[in-house]
Amino acid sequence: MKVLNIVEAAYRGTLEEQDDTIVWFCHAMKGANADIDVLLRGNAVNYAVKAQDASGLSFGEARQTQPPQLANDLVKLKGKGVRIFVVEDALRERGIEPSELIDGLDFVPRAKLAKLFGDYDQVWHW
């Protein structure tokens, strides 16, 4: 069974969790030999931006020492054989240039999403 995981709700609890919970979930499923890929759409396309930096959070003497590294988490996921698709319309709408993104992404226009979905047995929209 081959599954495409759509990540759309972005930065949901990422500072508390120190990752994106669905990207993390995909890492864990891949560790269980799941045949999965990931599609970033909506605000989640920003996860692929290299220059983002969530470090520096502190409240009083409580400092976050392991901030989320979302782009790097995608790089690691791709290194495990997971394809990372990004909706190119969503990038354009947000003024994000491809040069700002991590390497190795697969860009897909919104108009071709239905065709992409057809390549999978199931599509899970998280």
Partner 1 sequence: MAKTLTFALMDPPFENARSTTALRLIDLAVKGGFNVNVFAYEGAVYLPFAKQAQHPNAVHGRNVEEENHPLPRTWIAALMKEAGDKGLKLDWANCGLCVDERGAAEAIEGVRRGSPADFWNFAQNSINTLVIGTR
Q: Which is closer to partner 1, CB of 9 or CB of 49?
A: 9
Pairing of strands 106-108, 62-63: unpaired
- Using CB under 8 A, which of 10, 21, 100, 106 touches partner 1? 21
1: contact with partner 1 by CB under 8 A: yes
Distance CA 83, CA 76 (A): 11
- Using CB under 8 A, which of 11, 25, 54, 75 touches partner 1? 25
- To partner 1, the closest distance from the beta carbon of 78 in angstroms equals 18
